[in-house]
């Protein structure tokens, strides 16, 4: 058995790993705001990605899938713009995404298939590719290891703050670093990470191992969050590994790598929920006592996405009946006679018995900015799952009603 992985939280975000640089510019897609970021590895890097499961797929996703296939899982750089999703834009949108990639390749002197592109913003608008091209040319001249925060700002849409993190992973073979940044505030639901996430590491690992690690960690983190139950068209998670630390991810080191990647992705995933549109609290929904892991995840997601649950959470109303009702209609094995609902440390309902006198204490817990809820399905099974969500406030309605007008 390997010893517990030790982590050192460090600054630097996406450029904390050795051999990565970034840049951010305002190219005019948004008004007076950073709206274009580049992430560049000094050397060719192993690359892996996860993409949206939405059948309405944006042009950048199509281009990235093709490039990763053609390059054999090797990438040098990523260009990402905010303000325009380049989704539902037909052949012109695909041409613009390809041109975006070609300009990036020309500026950093690499094969086009070793570049990746991403876009986020309003669906259906044409991408002003001349502005993007000019922005890439300018940004490529200003790449450095100190623009990580600006890059995190440039990918934001309705995000209330930039989200980034990095850790140094300490192993028996030495240390390597994993960094990342993410954008996401609305249209967040676990059908593959519903947001854009960019991850880098200076560990040496091949693309097949990289994809295996990313898939596993994505299920536990980005696929376990929900703000509003909506799956977008551009959702992508990218991971580049350039090996600059000199630490090779052998079979013995692989568990350390996965632990470090989980540490980074978990922080970023929870930050998405904290910064959800109109959110005032981060809520952990843990379902226990399920017969299968699938049942546990399905019930947890159903509860996390319930509008009645989310409004009760916002009002600090310990209405345990809403949790029981959703568990009962989630389409999983459920034994209400043995079910349990706990908010914080307070059991409100168990074995068909309710304790209304405890609701004031539960409400006090719900008034905090982090809320823990446990629902036991009562099946006597030992499977469980956790989904992180947020409350639903009037501010969410205002943001989305005014998003384009």
Dist CA 79 CA 143 (whole Å): 12
**Cβ neighbours, 10 Å, residue 222:** 26
Of 305, 265, 404, the C-alpha closest to 257 is: 265
The two three-digit tokens of residue 126, written as one number: 């044409």
The residue whose two tokens read 């929904």 is 285
The answer to whether 151 and 23 have CB atoms below 8 angstroms apart is yes
Of 386, 385, 387, 390, the C-alpha closest to 313 is: 390
The answer to whether 204 and 45 have CB atoms below 8 angstroms apart is no
**Cβ neighbours, 10 Å, residue 93:** 24
Q: Is 194 an annotated catalytic residue? A: yes
Of 239, 167, 132, 161, the C-alpha closest to 196 is: 239
CA distances from 359 to 348, 352, 372 (A): 7, 16, 15
Q: Where are the alpha helices (DSSP H) in 275-314?
A: 293-305, 307-314
The two three-digit tokens of residue 84, written as one number: 């325009």
Active-site residue, selected from the candidate residues 52, 171, 194, 200: 194
Of 18, 224, 237, 24, the C-alpha closest to 116 is: 237
Give the contacts of 188 (CB within 8 A, at least 6 positions apart). Answer: 194, 195, 225, 226, 227, 228, 230, 272, 273, 276
**Cβ neighbours, 10 Å, residue 46:** 25
DSSP-assigned states of every residue in 165-232: EEEEEEETTEEEEEEEEEE-SSS--SSS-SSEEEEEE-SB--HHHHHHHHHHHHHHTGGGEESSS---
What are the start-end ranges of the E strands in 88-137?
115-122
Query: What amino acid positions are annotated as catalytic residues?
Result: 194
């Amino acid at each position: 058995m390997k010893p517990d992985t030790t982590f050192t939280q460090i600054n630097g975000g996406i450029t904390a790993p050795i051999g990565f640089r970034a840049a951010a510019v305002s190219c005019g897609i948004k008004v007076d705001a950073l709206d274009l970021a580049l992430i560049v590895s000094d050397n060719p890097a192993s690359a892996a990605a996860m993409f949206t499961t939405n059948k309405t797929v944006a042009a950048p996703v199509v281009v990235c899938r093709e490039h990763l296939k053609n390059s054999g899982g090797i990438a040098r750089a990523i260009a990402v713009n905010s303000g325009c999703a380049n989704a539902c834009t037909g052949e012109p949108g695909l041409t613009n995404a390809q041109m975006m990639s070609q300009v990036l390749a020309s500026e950093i002197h690499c094969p086009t298939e070793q570049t990746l592109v991403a876009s986020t913003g309003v669906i259906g608008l044409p991408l002003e590719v001349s502005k993007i091209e000019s922005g890439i040319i300018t940004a490529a001249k200003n790449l450095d290891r100190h623009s990580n925060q600006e890059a995190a700002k440039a990918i934001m849409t309705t995000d209330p703050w930039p989200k980034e993190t990095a850790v140094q992973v300490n192993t028996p073979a030495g240390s390597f670093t994993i960094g990342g940044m993410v954008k996401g505030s609305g249209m967040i639901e676990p059908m593959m990470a519903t947001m854009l996430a960019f991850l880098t590491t200076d560990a040496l690992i091949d693309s097949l191992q990289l994809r295996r690690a990313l898939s596993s960690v994505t299920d536990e983190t980005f696929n376990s969050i929900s703000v509003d139950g909506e799956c977008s068209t551009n959702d992508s998670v990218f991971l580049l590994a350039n090996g600059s630390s000199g630490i090779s991810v052998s079979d013995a080191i692989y568990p350390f790598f996965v632990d470090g990647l989980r540490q980074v992705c978990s922080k970023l995933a929870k930050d998405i929920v904290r910064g959800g549109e109109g959110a005032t609290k981060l809520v952990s929904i843990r379902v226990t006592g399920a017969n299968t892991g699938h049942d546990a995840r399905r019930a947890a997601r159903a509860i996390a996405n319930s509008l009645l649950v989310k409004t009760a959470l916002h009002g600090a109303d310990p209405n345990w009946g809403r949790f029981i009702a959703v568990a009962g209609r989630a389409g999983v094995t459920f034994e209400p006679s043995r079910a349990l609902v706990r908010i914080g440390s307070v059991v409100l309902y168990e074995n068909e018995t309710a304790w209304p006198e405890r609701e004031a204490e539960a409400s006090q817990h719900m008034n905090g900015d982090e809320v823990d809820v446990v629902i036991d399905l009562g099946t006597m099974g030992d499977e469980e799952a956790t989904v992180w969500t947020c409350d639903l406030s009037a501010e969410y309605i205002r943001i989305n009603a005014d998003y384009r007008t």
